[in-house]
Amino acid sequence: MDGPKPESWFHKIKDGFVRGLGWSFGVTIGFVIISSVLVTALQAMGGLPLIGAWIASVVETTQAELIKRNPYLR
């Protein structure tokens, strides 16, 4: 009796590529859906300005620390 034929390297590479495309497409669509729901919920609660101010303070603090470490960045 004959068993299953071993796949060639071309079919393995093609199969891996197709699976990778499917996975990345799924992750992208999932991220878009989750982030859209999150942003919509935050807008409904009025929380986006609060989060924007928090992110701005993080960026300002990071920039100030970078300038302290390397004065040539000014």
Residue-by-residue pLDDT tens, the chain, 74 positions: 565 677 788 899 999 999 999 999 999 999 999 999 988 888 788 766 777 788 889 999 998 888 888 767 65
d(C-alpha 35, C-alpha 12), whole Å: 34
Cα separation, 58 vs 14, in Å, equals: 44
Task: Check residue 46 and report its DSSP letter.
Answer: T
